[in-house]
Structure 1
Amino acid sequence: MTALTRLAILDDYQGVVQSMGPWGRLPGSIAVEVFRDTPRDADAIAARLAPFDAILAMRERTPFPAALLKRLPNLRLLITTGERNRSIDVGQAQAQGITVCGTPSSGAPTVDITWGLILNLLRDIPRQQDSLRAGTWQTSVGTAAGGLTLGVVGLGKLGSAVAKVGQAFGMKVIAWSQNLTAEKAAAAGATLVTKQELFATADVVTLHLILSDRSRGIVGAAELGAMKRSAFIVNTSRGPLIDQPALVAALKEGRIAGAGLDVFDEEPLPAGHPLLGCPNTVLTPHLGYVSTQNYAAYFNGAVEAIEAYLAGTPIRLLAP
């Protein structure tokens, strides 16, 4: 492997990367530069990154399609935090001789955020706090989770963990996804139902699918229209799973009770975005993977990936 001279650490929104990783282990010959913003212009991104031979990408905050990779002739090592990153064209990277590596993760912090959104919606916690600070007392009546029906769309690692928490709250758990079997659902303590039945009967719908051509827009006007007016929808997976204009319309017209969203079609969410003006929403800035434990695993893994590359034995290689 060739030596590395310049490392770009991207999209450090919170300004914490350098304090949460063992960067002092890197050779002094590698100059490290941290960027805290995400340019939207393709030319600006290419110009910024062209001088670097190593890049650490923070999840999908900066995508690396073929068009961008072709404009990075110096790049030799591209690391993504986490075990996979569908915004990187790994095949194109390999064609250019770029090594693409991942890092370990820690736990399943997205489960925390999912339940934070669910409970805040059910018990109206954000508005009740605002009301209390404004000098009023008990202005709404919340709904307890026990006895409600939780509909889980996608019963993989995260969906199964969310389902088990629902059971602990005394909820009935139902589930659906395109390949889910009754046996797998039962193993997670859920009952397999049809997609139509899930949206029609669940009091809380929560999404846990990988974004793909098959899952994009999997919740549209028909699914939202099937939901009870008293039901909530929560998305901590990827914004495009839900048809955004249809969701905005359903919220503004009061056809569903509310939504808890940690992910959006465009991130960071721009000022004036339609969702910011929607009633009965709890919105968080893609915090699902943001925890001290997860960041520590990410950045320790990034340093390990650089050390392994320099030793000629790259680790955690991503496949196309």
Structure 2
Amino acid sequence: MEDYSYTKAPVREMMLSKRFEIRQSKKGRAVMKCAVLDDYQNAAMSMADWSVITDRIELNVYHQHFDDEDELVAAIEDCEIVVIMRERTPFRSGLLKRLPRLKLLVTTGMRNASIDLVAAVEQGIVVSGTRGGGEGTTELTWALILGLTRKLVQENEALRTGGPWQSTIGVDLSGKRLGLLGLGHIGSNVARIGQAFGMEVAAWSANLTADRAAAVGATLASSKEELLASSDFISIHLVLGDRSRGLIGARELNLMKKTAYLINTSRAPIVDQDALIQALRSSSIAGAGLDVYEQEPLPADDPLRTLPNVFATPHIGYVTEAAYRNFFRGIVEDIEAYLNGSPINVLKPQV
């Protein structure tokens, strides 16, 4: 039933991707064209059972990112269903208007700031999300912290290339202050792990209460400024919105200790990127652990790729087996529900 074929045609024709197609319904049902975008790891087809819908859709899976909107439109303009992975490809009003046949847009997660939900509603497009992600972002937060403080990239590279045996001195976590901007599900888990390392944990967000902080063993900072000035590590776990966009700028970075580290596994626009690069270049903070960027994939000439006090990963916080299985299972369920006339997990514009 599965027909895989490969092509070496230019990106406009096939994006150098594996193509998976079911061309006609064996049960006589109408067949809708569906595209899965940005399947970087070639995981979409193996992480869920698509057989429940493959007689009702013609499916194309694209493994490489479309940098050019014209190329993207050429690939998916005849699709009624499009599946996107988080914010890898934004769907703003301008793009949506170029896709008049689009009826269902499925995104992983129940929140995606890169989709213009107002424009989608106006165009009659149903936007569905998926539930369940896993704990990958929590775990990656600590991977970034440990990578920075123990200089793991530098020491590993030296070991592999015959460089100096032991050239750095690690930074201890025990006894240090961990400051959390945001104490939701991920922030709370990060807080508990911080305590296991023997750290003092404090937190702040606009609506956080002392009782809520105490429930996960943290203390409530009196202000954002106090948290920044007193913490040895600042880790961001906020939802991107009007109140959080640009929350950390040059003034806030200047409040941090010169020995402090900034960790961002949330969303890049929460931090002023120009101000962050300047702070890292001038060593006004010790370093940064980053998994999110304003432009993804990160441009080849972006300074965050080369600054020595940055430990960076390509937005892989949510990229784990558990999360992918939950996401793609939810994607199939969303498509099946839509095809059955009863969409589920529908995302609507916030009033």
TM-score bracket for the superposition, by shorter chain length:
over 0.9
Q: Residues 48-75 of structure 1, C-alpha deviation per residue, up to 9 Å, x if partnerless?
A: 2211001111111111112221221111
Give per-residue Cα distances to partners, 1:3-44, cap 9 Å, x unaligned: 442110001112221222212222324111011222233333
Write the letter of the residue equivalent to 2:185: K
* Equivalence map 1:1-320=2 (5 Å): 3-135=30-162, 136-193=164-221, 194-320=223-349
By how many angstroms is 1:169 displaced? 0.9
Q: Aligned residues: percent identity?
A: 50
Give 5+ residue unaligned stretches, structure 2: 1-28
Could you tell me how far apart the structure 1 residues matched to 2:199 and 2:31 are? 53
Structure 2 CA distance for aligned equivalents of residues 228 and 96 of structure 1:
49
Deviations 1:218-243 (A, max 9, x none): 11111111111111110000111111
Equivalent position amino acid for 1:139 in 2: S
Q: Secondary structure at the match of 2:338?
A: helix
In structure 2, what is the Cα distance between the partners aligned to 1:241 and 1:106? 22
**Amino acid paired to 1:224:** L
Given that 2:83 and 2:105 are in contact with CA atoms closer than 8 Å, whether structure 1 keeps it comes out as yes
Deviation readout 1:260-283 (Å, 9 max, x if unpaired): 000011100111101112121110
Distance, in Å, in 2 between the alignment partners of 1:27 and 1:280 is: 48
Q: Amino acid of the residue matched to residue 144 of structure 1?
A: D
CA distance in 1, matches of 2:145, 2:218: 18
> Secondary structure in 1 aligned to 2:171?
coil
In 1, Cα distance between equivalents of 2:31 and 2:85: 19
Amino acid at match of 1:5: M
The answer to whether the Cα contact below 8 Å between 1:4 and 1:53 also exists between their aligned partners in 2 is: no
Q: SS where residue 13 of structure 1 aligns?
A: coil
Q: Distance in 1 between matches of 2:238 and 2:85?
A: 20
TM-score in terms of structure 1 length:
0.95
Question: What code does the residue aligned with 1:64 have?
Answer: F
Gaps of 5+ in 1: none
> What is the alpha-carbon root mean square deviation over aligned residues?
1.5
Instruction: Determine if contact 2:37/2:61 at 8 Å carries over to the other structure.
Output: yes
Deviation for aligned residue 1:95: 2.3
- Provide the aligned length of Structure 1 versus Structure 2: 319
Contact 2:30 2:56 in 1 (8 A): no
Higher relative contact order (CA 8 A, sep 6+): 1
CA distance in 2, matches of 1:295, 1:177: 29
TM-score with structure 2 setting the length: 0.87
Distance 2:127 2:274 in 1: 36
Distance in 1 (CA, whole Å) between partners of 2:69 and 2:207 is: 37
Q: Quote how far apart the aligned CAs of 1:213 are.
A: 2.1
In the alignment, the residues of structure 2 paired with residue 60 and residue 234 of structure 1 have an alpha-carbon distance, to the nearest angstrom, of 20
1:64-110 Cα offsets, whole Å, 9 max, x none, are 11222122111111111112212112232222222211112232210
Distance of 2:120 and 2:175 partners within structure 1: 50
Amino acid at match of 1:30: I
Find the aligned partners of 2:62 and 2:252 in 1 and give their Cα distance: 40
Cα drift, residue 118 of structure 1:
0.6
